[in-house]
Structure 1
Amino acid sequence: MVVLEKGLSGALNAKVTGSGNEAIILAHGFGGDQSDPNLYDPVKYSSYDAFANDLISLIEELNLESSVFVGHSMSGIIGCIASIKRPDLFKSLVLIGASPRYINGDGYEGGFSDAEIEDIISNMESNFYNWAQAFASAVVDAKDPPSVDMFSKCLQRMRPEFAVPVARTVFYSDERDVLEKVMTPCVIVQTTRDIVVPNSVAYYMQEKIKGKSTVEIIETDGHFPHLTAHLQLLDVLTAVMNFNGPKNIST
């Protein structure tokens, strides 16, 4: 394993593993602690656009072209935005539990009401560590207690002064208009039951994305198939990549 320590690669704690001619970029969703929190600017990162620009800059710094991008949750939509800005950098997008909007409205089922999102933010602000434990128990398959505990601890390592504004950016985002501009082939990965992202969102995205897109349903509960159903997810990724030993990059 090679850990890159300079430039944006160092700031984002990007790790490069493996070898090969094709790169797979793995990007985590909310609750991941891969990046340096001291570099977070709540004004700059009040929308996904700045995250997408960072992704593009990282890919350019690593001299990658036509990569397979695997983005979980918020990173899925960030990858979509980046692919619109620089389609040459992306061969395909694998969107795991991604959603362009979490709030219901206008005939769209996002999964939450305005009041429910307000309660989430309020609970984060009042007692972040208790919220983290309860949230992890709700969004990770309860039949896998070690994964629930792992994500709970990951959330609790976040600094509340950074976690709350990022959560606002995520839960109040509305990127539905972005989808029709995505021309990169997409595989939309959804679990059978995800309280964060209803299954209807996956098919909504498939309908709106202009490029070729497919939906793959993994037989598991929760928002984290890479923790609780990783073998099934690997089957999906293998089919996407026609696996031949590509290089791995995690951000």
Structure 2
Amino acid sequence: MVLEKSLSSAINTKIMGSSGSEETIVLAHGYGGDQSVWDKIVPYLAEHYRVVVFDWPFSGAVNNKDLFDPSKYSSYDAFANDLIALLDELNLKSTVFVGHSMSGMIGCIASINRPDLFKTLILIGASPRYINTEDYEGGLEMSDITQIISAIESNYHNWAAYFASLAVDPNDPLSVDKFVKCLRRMRPEVALALAKTVFYSDQRDVLDQVSTPCTIINTSSDIVAPNSVAFYMQKKIKGKSTVEIINTNGHFPQLTAHLELLDVLGKVLGLKFDHQDPDIVGVN
């Protein structure tokens, strides 16, 4: 992969918050998203932390279309290597990592390979496997995944709207529309390749190698990652892990229930966030 000036610039990395803060929180978005999915909570976090946001190479927000190589990113390992490289480039250690959806498992893999980079993992709507088996409830049947792949292949534009209406709380139409636009910024061929990587993945064997303390955050109703997955992960993770359930619907609490999410993050981080909208203080 040929990078631009650096990995951090190629993936639109931004650092916000107090430059005097000793602690850094890293926010990683999931499938179809970009760093803007964190916009509602970044100002609050930036009052206490240096906050790092970025766009994964598959994101439509990334200008270099050659950055996403489907053969390279056919597993989560390549993403985990990118995450490690980014943190090394930024000279960060012992970060608080917040990974949404697929980024949850990416953070887990990275923490196994480089535990020095992570103080704690906060996994929002994460899943090691989406497909049900006889002894595991992932939430989806193999036939569901086949239909998803077929729909992306036949008409990605239409599928994006349909998937967003399922994944995001329909009681928040502005957030549904935001995710539709994020999805549609991804090129269809990228969306298809990545969907296969995500939905066919099975990372269950990774969990018992994760020693970094974890907080697993789910909503009370999430078609993508049901609560059965959260409690399965808690049981399997080697290190200390807890589950927090937010009483809301959908896969995107950072969009549709950001104040409730902040309350949970505050509990985990030992902070109390003022629900008045703060200003963002930029570092770079």
Task: Give TM-score scaled by structure 1 length.
Answer: 0.94
Of the three residues 47, 70, 76, the one matched with 2:75 is 47
Structure 2 partner of 1:241: 269
Structure 1 partner of 2:17: 18
Specify every segment of 5 or more residues in structure 2 that has no aligned partner in the other structure, as ranges: 35-54, 274-279
Kindly indicate whether the alpha-carbon contact (under 8 Å) linking 2:131 and 2:138 is maintained by their aligned counterparts in 1.
yes
Structure 2 partner of 1:94: 122
Q: How far apart are 1:228 and its partner, in Å? A: 0.5
Question: Aligned equivalents of 1:10 and 1:38: distance in 2?
Answer: 14
Q: Give the secondary-structure state (helix, strand or coil) at the position aligned to 1:183.
A: coil
Give the length in aligned residue pairs. 244
Change (3 A) 1:199 1:244: closer
- Larger relative contact order, structure 1 or 2 (CA cutoff 8 Å, min sep 6): 1
Change (3 A) 1:105 1:228: same
Amino acid paired to 1:16: I
Change (3 A) 1:110 1:248: farther
Amino acid paired to 1:40: F
Q: Deviations over 1:33-52 (max 9, x none)?
A: 43424300100100000000
Structure 1 partner of 2:30: 29
Question: Aligned equivalents of 1:229 and 1:148: distance in 2?
Answer: 13
Q: Deviations over 1:212-234 (max 9, x none)?
A: 00000001000000000100111
Question: Aligned equivalents of 2:75 and 2:116: distance in 1?
Answer: 23
Structure 1 partner of 2:187: 159
Question: Aligned equivalents of 2:238 and 2:25: distance in 1?
Answer: 23
Structure 2 partner of 1:136: 164
Question: Aligned equivalents of 2:193 and 2:281: distance in 1?
Answer: 30
Q: How far apart are 1:244 and its partner, in Å? A: 9.4
Matched, 1:148 2:176: yes
Specify every segment of 5 or more residues in structure 1 that has no aligned partner in the other structure, as ranges: none
Task: Give TM-score scaled by structure 2 length.
Answer: 0.83
Q: Which moved more, 1:153-162 or 1:33-42?
A: 33-42
Question: Aligned equivalents of 1:64 and 1:163: distance in 2?
Answer: 30
Q: How far apart are 1:235 and its partner, in Å? A: 1.0
Amino acid paired to 1:205: M
Kindly indicate whether the alpha-carbon contact (under 8 Å) linking 1:24 and 1:248 is maintained by their aligned counterparts in 2.
no
Kindly indicate whether the alpha-carbon contact (under 8 Å) linking 2:31 and 2:101 is maintained by their aligned counterparts in 1.
yes
Question: Aligned equivalents of 2:222 and 2:228: distance in 1?
Answer: 11
Question: Aligned equivalents of 1:241 and 1:24: distance in 2?
Answer: 10
Q: What does 1:46-125 align with in structure 2 at a 5 Å threshold?
A: 46-125=74-153
Q: How far apart are 1:248 and its partner, in Å? A: 10
Identity of counterpart residues, as a percentage? Answer: 66
Kindly indicate whether the alpha-carbon contact (under 8 Å) linking 2:218 and 2:227 is maintained by their aligned counterparts in 1.
yes
Q: How far apart are 1:106 and its partner, in Å? A: 3.2
Q: Give the secondary-structure state (helix, strand or coil) at the position aligned to 1:187.
A: strand
Kindly indicate whether the alpha-carbon contact (under 8 Å) linking 2:266 and 2:272 is maintained by their aligned counterparts in 1.
no
